[in-house]
Structure 1
Amino acid sequence: MGTTHVAVQRWLDGGGIQRQTAVFVAEALSDKLRRRIAPKDIGFPGITSIPTPAVGMPYAGSLTETLSILDGLTHQRPEDGPADEPLPDSDVNSAALAWLVSRPDGLPTDTPAARRVGMRDVAAIRTAAGFFMQLDFQFGGGHAHKAFRHYFREDVLPLLGASYSAKVGESLFRAASEMSQLLAWSAYDSGNHAHSGRYMLSTLRLTQVAGDRMMGARILTNMSHQANYLGQAPRALTLARASVEGGRSSSTPRAMALFSAHEARAFSTARDRKGAARAMNEAERFFERADSSDDPEWLIYMDEAELFGEFCHCFRDLGEGPEAVRFAELAVALTDPKYVRTLGFCRMVLAQSQLLNGELEEAVATARLAVEAGDALQSARFQRYVADFQREISAHAANSVVQQFNGQVRDAMNRLDDE
């Protein structure tokens, strides 16, 4: 693309400019100033830098590119675009490798900016992150995604291009990564895997700025979780191993327990009993050494109930009914009721595990409790757990208990559609 001094003077005089030209001008200034410049910052308020949705997306090469991608993603809703087209293996594998061998970019603390960021701004982001995390746990990823996107775009991204000290900058980028991964997770929970994948890759790149290896490993774990959910066992295992190895040198024992538990999940999906047993043993050993005083706030949910919840998934996928029931019952008993969705998942896994043991009526009774909670149904992932269970009991369609349960699910989904 080219331009002339005549066109520039026309823009300065208030004349029109093509949308893509304004985007290119903003990107050129961003590269020059080493901070994010949006079209609205240079006098084009009606134009936003929204990347064209695509299945593939390479790992960003710079902070400027990362922030541009994240800004564009916040203008897109999870329900828009391809939902069932996860990122290609080539993009995911190259991103994981790039992160594993990366060094911190270094914070752009010498950036000239009109605003100076302080620890009070960082505290506000962390408070908002805790609020949105609780909404996600209780009501599902789609409940407040619009408000979350707006907050991240308008109140978080601009701070990353402002002025700050090295200490504030490190805390700021860590807090921004936490927020960004919540957006990725809520998009995943809403059922848009392509959208979520792009958020996850961008968040992984964001952790590289300040060298936050523990959060980066968590992102890889989340990506493994998603791949596992989609039945992509090889990808899930690759990402889980990358999270364990990449996080090992700088993560707390509690974080390592989380990463190892998801490695066990990936092995279980692949029906590798030996690998799953080893990873579960490692997760237990790490958890025994956990000390909450060493952990970041985003790890607060990783308690004994969460660990047992991961283990019951493993044993269910390995077809080991008695062990799956044992750990699922422990997870249900120990899960804090405020984690509504997590409790719903554990109850559904308990129901599936009881079914593995041939306990049809007990399994349906457990699933009824999960559906009765209601709030968890706003999660697309939970809805699939219920649908999977309905498929598993379809061989008993003539059974009155099964018919009653199917009717309960229909009524619950109808109520959800009316809200």
Structure 2
Amino acid sequence: MSSREPNHRLAAVMAEAGASNKGLARRVRDAALRHGAHVGTTHVAVQRWLDGSGIQPETAAYVAEALSSKLGRQVTPADLGFTGVSTPRQLPAGVPGYAASLDQTLGALDGLTQLRPSAEDGDGAALLTDAEVDSAVLSWMVSRPDGVADVPDSRRVGMRDVMAIRTATAMFTRLDFLYGGGHGHTTLRHYFRHEVLPLLRASYSEKVGTALFAAAAEIAEVLGWTAYDIGDHALAHRYFVSGLRLTQVIDDRLLGSTILANMSHQANYLGQTARAARLARAALEGCRDQATPRANAIFAAHEARALSSAQDVAGASRAMNEAERFFERAGTAEDPDYLAYVDEAEIIGEFSHCFRDLRRPAESLRFAEQAVTQTDPQYARTLGFCRMVLAQGQFLNGGLESAVATATLAVDEGESLQSARFVRYVEDFQREISAYSSTPAVRALNEKVVAARAELEE
């Protein structure tokens, strides 16, 4: 709706349902999560809608679903006064999981990269099922490489083209680490569709083709990661699986396993701990011949994260020990550039998350302190995550004042992050300290968060 008049329809339906601003916000977040999406709706956002502010189409659908569930009858966005809200976009028709052919993969990627920028906040589209994910992993594990061949075409691809893609990948990866997935995803999608996909259908020698598909798979992985970071999990799934399929062309097992590890990370974030553990194990098993110690360290760390979330203390401890042993040999092999972020601070940070999820706050605090100290500022989002884990550890160890100070610093330093994941860290911490909301420091933090969110949404 474009009018700034109060939204009386929404107010009436909320009153009928007996839903408070906070209660509706919680139900909207839950509805989004059922669709594999994450929205940062708070009672402040609900009040803005009541006052007549606009709303994203996807969020309007979640509001309608939440109130429909509460009332036991169907409610549409129009019933709630959200006029002019278009239907949420649908992911393009195509291969739901792992493509049988390269042509299908390129067709699916072409469709994905045509999605409108306004649809990037999660769309309710279905996540891939466990069966689809397991089938994709098995297909990748056992399929023979497609290989590349020198075929005649009007456009001839050279190594200069491949280097341009690698340079762009490095730039977008740096943007992602510094400012979150929201800053570069739209531009990256446009670049991939108009600059990368045409090259994959052009002419190239075997040497150039091998390098080209490696570069294309890597930038597809970055597309998946940025979609994940902005909360568009269904889209991220499809980018990851399409990138995995591209690695099959040239049998790049290491990059394929890296994509599986990223899918494990996402599954753990969504609470799919069994899937997360399977994907991490597949990453470890899938590239034994090509794996470097650094790669195995992060794969094992992701397995530890999944097992920690599942409260498997013995399994998580074993995986953390494995990750530590692998990382001790990280300097003994040459790694691809996309593993450069896997330094000691990254592994320590993963361990801090593990101990937090295992409800061992003293150890989580110790590792989080080290991670914050050692994390390179170029990994600003990672530093923000570690600061929020540190704040949780400080709070659980009885230091409310120091915890709020740490969280406040994280919000200050992370105010430019367009990352749904960082927002969730902050919201989780706010819920943990909600019993102390009347204290001046907590109240000041909450006000700072509201202001930062409003500035990002402008």
Q: TM-score range by the shorter chain?
A: 0.7 to 0.9
Q: How far apart are 1:142 and its partner, in Å? A: 1.1
Confirm or deny that 1:106 pairs with 2:164: no
Q: Which residue of 1 aligns with 2:77?
A: none
Aligned partners of 1:292 and 1:165: how far apart in 2? 32
Aligned partners of 1:270 and 1:259: how far apart in 2? 17
Aligned partners of 2:209 and 2:93: how far apart in 1? 32
Aligned partners of 1:398 and 1:146: how far apart in 2? 40
Q: Which residue of 2 aligns with 1:313?
A: 353
Q: Contact (CA 8 Å) 2:416, 2:456: kept in 1 or not?
A: no
- Residue 67 of structure 1, aligned match among 98, 101, 106: 106
Give a deviation string over 1:255-291, Cα, whole Å, max 9, x none: 1111111010011010111111111111111111112
Q: Contact (CA 8 Å) 1:247, 1:256: kept in 2 or not?
A: no
> What amino acid maps onto 1:225 in structure 2?
H
Give a deviation string over 1:157-181, Cα, whole Å, max 9, x none: 1111111121111111111111000
Q: How far apart are 1:86 and its partner, in Å? A: 2.4
Aligned partners of 1:180 and 1:231: how far apart in 2? 24
Alignment CA distance shift 1:223-1:52 (3 Å): closer
- Residue 324 of structure 2, aligned match among 284, 289, 305: 284
Q: Contact (CA 8 Å) 1:55, 1:86: kept in 2 or not?
A: no
Could you tell me which runs of 5 or more consecutive residues in structure 2 were left unpaired when the two chains were aligned.
1-88
Q: Which residue of 2 aligns with 1:385?
A: 425
Q: How far apart are 1:337 and its partner, in Å? A: 0.8
Confirm or deny that 1:344 pairs with 2:366: no
TM-score by length of 1: 0.85
- Residue 58 of structure 1, aligned match among 97, 102, 115: 97
Q: Contact (CA 8 Å) 2:97, 2:128: kept in 1 or not?
A: no
Q: For 1:208-223, list aligned pairs within 5 A.
A: 208-223=248-263
Q: Contact (CA 8 Å) 2:253, 2:287: kept in 1 or not?
A: yes
Give a deviation string over 1:322-379, Cα, whole Å, max 9, x none: 1111111111111111111111001001111122212211111110010001345411
Using the aligned pairs only, state the percent identity: 61
Aligned partners of 2:126 and 2:281: how far apart in 1? 23
TM-score by length of 2: 0.78
Q: Contact (CA 8 Å) 2:150, 2:206: kept in 1 or not?
A: no
Aligned partners of 1:285 and 1:219: how far apart in 2? 22
Confirm or deny that 1:183 pairs with 2:217: no
Aligned partners of 1:297 and 1:263: how far apart in 2? 22
Secondary structure of 1:382's counterpart equals: helix
Aligned partners of 2:112 and 2:194: how far apart in 1? 13
- Residue 164 of structure 2, aligned match among 124, 133, 149: 124
Q: Which residue of 2 aligns with 1:172?
A: 212
Give a deviation string over 1:83-104, Cα, whole Å, max 9, x none: 4742211111111111122221
Alignment CA distance shift 1:84-1:342 (3 Å): farther
- Residue 361 of structure 1, aligned match among 372, 376, 401: 401
Q: For 1:175-324, list aligned pairs within 5 A.
A: 175-291=215-331, 294-324=334-364
Aligned partners of 1:127 and 1:317: how far apart in 2? 37
Structure 1: 4+ residue segments shifted above 3 A: 50-56, 374-377
Aligned partners of 2:94 and 2:457: how far apart in 1? 29
> What amino acid maps onto 2:161 in structure 1?
D
Q: Which residue of 2 aligns with 1:416?
A: 456
Alignment CA distance shift 1:317-1:81 (3 Å): closer
Q: Which residue of 2 aligns with 1:406?
A: 446
Q: Which residue of 1 aligns with 2:134?
A: 93
Alignment CA distance shift 1:376-1:89 (3 Å): farther
Alignment CA distance shift 1:392-1:55 (3 Å): farther
Q: Contact (CA 8 Å) 1:204, 1:219: kept in 2 or not?
A: yes
Q: Which residue of 2 aligns with 1:13?
A: none
Q: Contact (CA 8 Å) 2:263, 2:276: kept in 1 or not?
A: yes
Alignment CA distance shift 1:101-1:260 (3 Å): same
RMSD between aligned residues? 1.8
Q: Contact (CA 8 Å) 1:340, 1:375: kept in 2 or not?
A: no
Alignment CA distance shift 1:57-1:312 (3 Å): same
Aligned residue pairs, count: 368
Q: How far apart are 1:75 and its partner, in Å? A: 0.6
Q: Contact (CA 8 Å) 1:376, 1:382: kept in 2 or not?
A: no
> What amino acid maps onto 2:350 in structure 1?
E
- Residue 159 of structure 1, aligned match among 199, 222, 238: 199
Aligned partners of 2:158 and 2:326: how far apart in 1? 35
Aligned partners of 1:413 and 1:226: how far apart in 2? 23
Alignment CA distance shift 1:55-1:285 (3 Å): farther
Aligned partners of 2:374 and 2:94: how far apart in 1? 39
Q: Contact (CA 8 Å) 1:53, 1:81: kept in 2 or not?
A: no
Secondary structure of 1:142's counterpart equals: helix
Q: How far apart are 1:111 and its partner, in Å? A: 2.4
- Residue 181 of structure 2, aligned match among 141, 145, 166: 141
Aligned partners of 2:215 and 2:339: how far apart in 1? 13
Give a deviation string over 1:203-249, Cα, whole Å, max 9, x none: 11111100000011011101110010011111111111111111222
Q: Contact (CA 8 Å) 2:91, 2:112: kept in 1 or not?
A: no
Q: Which residue of 2 aligns with 1:40?
A: none
Alignment CA distance shift 1:56-1:391 (3 Å): farther
Secondary structure of 2:250's counterpart equals: coil
Aligned partners of 1:344 and 1:173: how far apart in 2? 33
Q: Contact (CA 8 Å) 2:122, 2:231: kept in 1 or not?
A: no
Q: Which residue of 2 aligns with 1:335?
A: 375
Aligned partners of 1:371 and 1:272: how far apart in 2? 32
> What amino acid maps onto 2:288 in structure 1?
R
Aligned partners of 2:416 and 2:125: how far apart in 1? 21
**Higher mean displacement: 270-279 or 72-81:** 72-81
> What amino acid maps onto 1:60 in structure 2?
A
Aligned partners of 1:124 and 1:400: how far apart in 2? 52
Q: How far apart are 1:80 and its partner, in Å? A: 6.6
